[in-house]
Amino acid sequence: MSGMRKKQREQAAQEPQRTPVDFAQGKPRYATQMRRRRNRRYGLIAALLILGVAAGVLAVLLADWLIAK
């Protein structure tokens, strides 16, 4: 049994995306998708940066503890 619902399995392949500009309204149609993608990327970068800083702090604390012994 897969975790997918029956409806999702039976759906056809995704339709190709429409043109990125809705000429009738004169604005980008996928602006919200682009914003979400950018925000997700920024969140990932922030998480990796925080993990890197935390690993550095732990390495310094461990080195200090080993030298003190």
Q: Which three-class secondary structure string do you get for the chain?
A: CCCCCHHHHHCCCCCCCCCCEECCCCEECCHHHHHHHHHHHHHHHHHHHHHHHHHHHHHHHHHHHHHHC
Torsion angle of the four alpha carbons 51, 57, 58, 64, in this order, in degrees rounded to the nearest 10? 170
Residue 2 has pLDDT above 80, yes or no: no
Overall average pLDDT of the 54-67 stretch: 96
- How many separate domains does the chain show? 1
Is the overall model pTM greater than 0.75, yes or no? no
Q: What is the pLDDT of residues 40-50, one digit of tens each?
A: 999 999 999 99
Residue 8 lies in a domain: no
Overall average pLDDT of the 41-65 stretch: 97
Q: Which domain holds residue 35?
A: 21-68
- Band of the pLDDT at 12, cuts 50, 70, 90? low
Residue 11 lies in a domain: no
- Band of the pLDDT at 34, cuts 50, 70, 90? confident
Residue 10 lies in a domain: no
Residue 1 lies in a domain: no
Residue 39 has pLDDT above 80, yes or no: yes
